[in-house]
Structure 1
Amino acid sequence: MMLKENEKIELKRSTSLLKEAIISIVAILNKHGKGELYFGIDSKGNIRGQQVTEKTLRDISQRIAQNIEPRIFPKIEKVTLEKKDCIKICFKGDDKPYFAFGIAYIRVADEDRKLSPAELRRFILKAEAYSGKWDKNLTEVSVDEINRETFNDFLIKVKEAGRLKIKTESRLSVLNKLELIRHEKLTEAAKFLFTDKHSMEVQAAVFAGKDKVTFLDIKKFNGNLFDLLDRTELYLKERLSWRVVIGRKGMEREEIPEIPIAALREALVNSLIHRDFSNPKGNEIAVFKNRIEIYNPGFFPEGLTPEDFIYGEEHSYLRNPKIAEIFYYTKDVERWASGLKRIYDECTRSKVKVEFRILKTGFVTIFYRKKENKNRLKPEILVKENGKYFYNKNTESSVKSSVKSSGKIVHMISDNPKITIPEMAEALGITTRAVEKQIAKLKREGKIKRIGPDKGGYWKALD
């Protein structure tokens, strides 16, 4: 058996180095929350062995209890390696920060580094943010404030995902099952998930160049988290460049975005579920000529880097566990701790450069755009072929379309008052739910109306 020191494993030649061992335990706990330490093995991994008695194990246990705060309860045992007696200590803890002899340490590679007062203050703030308690707190928001359409869509998505069995569609029963309500009052998680009774917003803008000097478009989105996800995804889709490929799948026409939609959506989901909801600053989406940035005001886990999740095997580190859990049930989150890796893998397959930056004020995902080419698509006119509607594209044009989905919907209704929502969704390349949201907005603005019932009725575009 050959052991090597790393960020989660510490090796000590003998118990004469017990003080240093206690410091290593604290450093590993503050970085990873769990680890292993061995006595009787030197730093190069050579098994030397040492004398181990019941008193030896008891003394180690007492020294750890006396000198580590908050207290931990490690498993300390005698093990035989290559016919030599050694000591193995397995430890874990979630009550960060931990102190050894009154001082906090952090693990960096295979070394233990003392935290400065400023670093310790930041560490405590981040540890509190990741305590996983805030989103279970009760609010004064009533269950009656829940957006019924959003909640019904949520139930449909949960059933389709198959990750949670729901025997009833009773709103109170489902909310109780998910621990999102007490005494008909919503928790913090439920308030953000299903209502607009909060001040959180997403700011989105398109800039003319590579900086924020001149903007071409700016919007603010408010609402529940599911609504914000759909609307921001649609906002980005409408501002992407697309290219057309004919013949890759038989003779079918295939439109491919410059940045994988799956990667963009994953970044949007991450920016919502990992943000710091106590921070009044909003999420931000910035579309530049050469890149797209998706920012959220939330500290990255202390001591970890994006690479730890992309290339390593780090476990999930959730700031808002209940919100993340709900998005998991709808399959908007595929599995824990996989978001950054999924974004990276999607972009790698599509040969798109992606960058993850840890900022002092939060975290940003940057997708770099490819240079313009003449195959970029521009929506031009609505055409009908074989009974289906779609927008004809000019593949020789490199001019970005300024036609928005809402305008396209009005155009389609004017052309064919009996067009269906599925036909609109197919023509626009978006979901039926996204079309329904656009239609609701157009109705509120007085631009369209429905004449007659859903079946047998028709649309009317208003002047």
Structure 2
Amino acid sequence: MKRGEAMNLGKETETLEFKKTTGEMKEAMVSISAILNKHGIGTLYFGVKPNGDVIGQDVSESSLRDVSRAVYENIKPQIYPAIDEVVVGEKHLIKVEFSGESAPYSAAGRYYLRTADEDREVTPEELKVFFGVNKYREKWEKGKSEATSKQIDKTAIKAFWQKAVSAGRLPKGRYTCPIVLKRFGLVKDECLTNAGEVLFGSTRPVSLKAGIFATDEKLTFLDMKLYEDNVFNLLGIAEEYILKNIRWRNEITGTEREEIPEIPVAVIREVLANGFAHAIYNGRTNHEICVHPGMITVYSPGEYASIHTPEEYIRGNCESEIRNATIAKILYLSKAIEQFGSGFKRIDSLCRDAGIRYSYESGKNGFKFIIYRPQIQSDTPHVTLDVTLNGTEMAVLAILKQRPDSSREEIADKISKTVRTVQRALDSLRDKGYIRRIGSKQTPTWEILK
């Protein structure tokens, strides 16, 4: 280093903070509490610019005592940091090394969390969520399940490593089921860990409900299935269920005909994978997929897993807080998740590119992602449709789309209405140009026109 050139300590991180002088004592206490709450250990220097340039600090017994007193008076519960004078590039600095295992910590009565190199004030409720998420994450995934290391889905494990190698996210080599389980910490004392059983167990550890509904309310269902399997298999099952029950269109490019779904596969895949990655697997509810005429909902059990809102992830560069790190890693390696830790931002980008609207609902028991289906565009020009269908008409029409030869009695039973009400709905749908009867009145088959 040339004479006069500033020494640089590098960039601030989630566990390293720089302050120019002890004149920033208040801000320093905030950083200490934020780092303690996020990581439990960290280092702070007085005499360093935010960019890492060492500028020095007047250091005396008095200034060292001032730092010690500030920590004692501001940080609660009490911690006992190591506060020393250090010399870097002939500049004198104050180095504060601190740690604590009694989180949450406050600074002057307020609570903070570290995000990248910034300190964010949080409410006690947000802090409760944060610690709840981390407590679950640390204990659940690594805990032993009741499944033995032999109760595995060998086909799923083989499919995983083949996909991961093919995607270039796992190096080529010799893989076996025991090697994969051990490499990713999915076995413990001859038992699968909880993460191992959920990912690759043969014990049918995870439940998925999938249904098709006649309207956008969960009243009349046209199909309902319950799948029980491991996460690796359920991802494929869930994707196939949605793709089989949405609309596709044909586009001809040159001499090739391409079938294109109304919702891009990448959107569906990303939403599903993130739902399985961030779920709570020892909760009271199941994963759920609902296909409605106007939307598709994907529900995953467990309250929202971060103190940051989805909007903050989409618009900014917040550090991802992954509830199930091991599960998320396996899904990333097998390319079920395209980019690790950037789910909301990627989903938002994919939906914008495709012109697809979405929303979400967060509750105490789970998180629901809603993908709105595009409206049907008629291929026939100059045709005006009467789209003012009531709930009964929509339910009847949906049933006929699934099974055109349904009788009035069968329809009435499915939607819990009288036969007379069903007949009125059929007459109305016919008059509005949605259906046309083929065959006799006694055994009709309905042709769907629109």
Question: Which residue in 2 is equivalent to 1:224?
Answer: 230
1:22 maps to 2:29: yes
1:126 maps to 2:130: no
DSSP 3-state at the match of 1:22: helix
The one-letter amino acid of 1:369's match is R
- Unpaired segments ≥5 residues, structure 1: 1-6, 42-48, 377-397, 404-463
Deviations 1:237-273 (A, max 9, x none): 01111122223xx232122211111111111011111
How far off is 1:162 after superposition?
2.8
How far off is 1:351 after superposition?
0.8
How far off is 1:8 after superposition?
11
Cα–Cα, structure 1 residues 59 and 255, in superposed 2: closer, same or farther, change >3 Å? Answer: farther
1:241 maps to 2:241: no
How far off is 1:139 after superposition?
2.5
Question: Which residue in 2 is equivalent to 1:307?
Answer: 311
DSSP 3-state at the match of 1:269: helix
The one-letter amino acid of 1:236's match is I
1:289 maps to 2:296: no
Q: How does 1:184-333 map to 2 (within 5 A)?
A: 184-197=190-203, 199-247=205-253, 250-333=254-337
TM-score w.r.t. the length of structure 2 is 0.66
1:141 maps to 2:152: no
How far off is 1:227 after superposition?
1.0
Provide the aligned length of Structure 1 versus Structure 2. Answer: 366
Deviations 1:324-368 (A, max 9, x none): 122222122223212222211111111111224433333222211
- What is the CA RMSD across the aligned residues, in angstroms? 4.5
Whether contact under 8 Å (1:26, 1:105) holds in the other structure is: yes
The alignment-based identity, stated in percent, is 32
Q: Which residue, 373, 387, 399 being the options, matches 1:369?
A: 373
Cα–Cα, structure 1 residues 156 and 108, in superposed 2: closer, same or farther, change >3 Å? Answer: closer
Measured in 2, the distance between the counterparts of 1:369 and 1:400 equals: 20
Measured in 2, the distance between the counterparts of 1:333 and 1:75 equals: 44
Measured in 2, the distance between the counterparts of 1:272 and 1:94 equals: 33
Whether contact under 8 Å (2:212, 2:224) holds in the other structure is: yes
Q: Which moved more, 1:107-116 or 1:211-220?
A: 107-116
TM-score w.r.t. the length of structure 1 is 0.65
Q: Which residue, 155, 158, 171 being the options, matches 2:161?
A: 155
Cα–Cα, structure 1 residues 9 and 312, in superposed 2: closer, same or farther, change >3 Å? Answer: farther
Measured in 1, the distance between the counterparts of 2:258 and 2:99 equals: 51
1:176 maps to 2:182: yes
How far off is 1:26 after superposition?
2.3
Cα–Cα, structure 1 residues 200 and 311, in superposed 2: closer, same or farther, change >3 Å? Answer: same
DSSP 3-state at the match of 1:294: strand
Question: Which residue in 1 is equivalent to 2:358?
Answer: 354
Whether contact under 8 Å (1:136, 1:187) holds in the other structure is: yes
Measured in 1, the distance between the counterparts of 2:376 and 2:62 equals: 70
Measured in 2, the distance between the counterparts of 1:219 and 1:72 equals: 57
Structure number with greater Rg is: 2
Q: How does 1:396-411 map to 2 (within 5 A)?
A: 402=402
Question: Which residue in 1 is equivalent to 2:64?
Answer: 58
Deviations 1:24-55 (A, max 9, x none): 542576579999989799xxxxxxx9963154
Cα–Cα, structure 1 residues 276 and 76, in superposed 2: closer, same or farther, change >3 Å? Answer: farther
Q: Which moved more, 1:355-364 or 1:281-290?
A: 355-364
